[in-house]
Amino acid sequence: MEFINRPYAPAGGFAASNLINIDDFPEAETNYVLDLAEYYARFLKAGKLPPARLAGKTQINLFFEDSTRTNLSFELAGRRLGADVLSVPVAASSVNKGESLIDTTQTLVAMGAHALIVRHREPRVHDELAKRIACPVINAGDGVREHPTQALLDAATIRSVYGTLKGLVIAICGDVKHSRVAASGAVLFSRLGAEVRFVGPAHLMPAPYQMPQARRFDTLADGIAGADIVMALRMQFERMEEGGKDAATGYFETYGLTHDTLKLAKPDARVMHPGPMNRGVEIDGALADDERRSLILKQVFYGVATRMAVLDALITKGAAF
């Protein structure tokens, strides 16, 4: 395993103060974080601890929606960098006594938090928090709107395999309408030079004015023809209206990703999925488990490295020490 040199921060220092929208990181900041993610990935692959850049810093995770990957990878990321990491047990916290989100977060900052990682079902609450508290706010998912660290970790994963996103065709399939993963991913992947497509039935597509950078396809054959990467999405039943479960009826037969349907894409196309998967609904288990075609566990691995990079960049602002 080859180590690589630590990348240089953008000239003038790391400019972004928060990560709420994927566009909060301009080009130089995005490239720096992706390079830093690869730098940290080398340590993780070698089973070595990197320099404790966040020793003496406190990171607090505050998740109002369920999570396995995002919550735990942020926790590991902070620990790997030497931070003290706390996760608020929301279900057993004073939130249940009526404490507001602002009061809760101000309380955490008064305890000494240097970064708050927040997942919440309400779109845009993070903007309000960022105005009111004096430490970086990192969006770990807000309703259907954005999941910026997922987009960054997906880009880091793709770069680790293809070297670049430039010129790649990335087809995002399924419940695009309710997916914050698709929303942030489409913006970032296009900015990094990929052609992004959305594939799925009309009732799972966002309104035409939303995410105009992606071409839309209602058949799998057209949508993934020539694709380098095919990303499956879970049906976000929890965000659908009453009767939303019907969205899954017949879906696998028409849009499900299998070894067979993947033949419609480029011969060596890879599959991705942000997780959690519903095997047999949007993706076949045998394809998800096929290491030659599936990048799904690599995405999880890069989740830790990328979140190390995001925490380091926002807390230390890229300072050399």
Binding site for ligand ASP (CB under 6 A): 141, 147, 180-181, 234, 236, 274-276
Select from 131, 143, 218, 135 the least CA-distant residue to 184. Answer: 143
CA-based torsion, 258, 156, 65, 210: positive or negative = negative
Determine contact, residues 80/50, Cβ cutoff 8 Å: yes
- What span, in angstroms and rounded, lies between the C-alpha atoms of 209 and 230? 23
Q: Which of 53, 57, 69, 191 binds ligand CP (CB under 6 A)?
A: 69
Residues 6+ apart with CB under 8 A from 185: 150, 151, 154, 170, 172, 196, 231
68 interface partner picked from ligand CP, ligand ASP, none, CB below 5 to 8 A per type: ligand CP
- Residue 112, Ramachandran bin (φ over 0: left; ψ between -120 and 50: alpha; else beta): left
Cβ 181 to ligand ASP, closest distance in Å? 5
Closest contact distance (angstroms) between CB of 28 and ligand ASP is 27
Among 18, 21, 58, 70, which residue interacts with ligand CP (rule: CB under 6 A)?
70
Number of residues that bind ligand CP (CB under 6 A): 9
Two tokens at 90? Answer: 């929301």
Closest separation in Å from C-beta 132 to ligand CP: 25
Site map 273..312 versus ligand CP, x via CB under 6 A: -xxx------------------------------------
| 236 near ligand CP (CB under 6 A) | no
Please answer whether residues 142 and 124 qualify as being in contact, where contact means their C-beta atoms are separated by less than 8 angstroms.
Answer: yes
Query: Distance between CA 220 and CA 215 in Å, rounded?
Result: 13
Which of 9/138 has CB closer to ligand CP? 138
Cβ proximity to ligand ASP: between 167 and 276 the closer is: 276
Of ligand CP, ligand ASP, none, which one sits near residue 180, judging by CB under 5 to 8 A according to partner kind? ligand ASP
Catalog residues that contact ligand CP under the rule CB under 6 A. 67-71, 150, 274-276
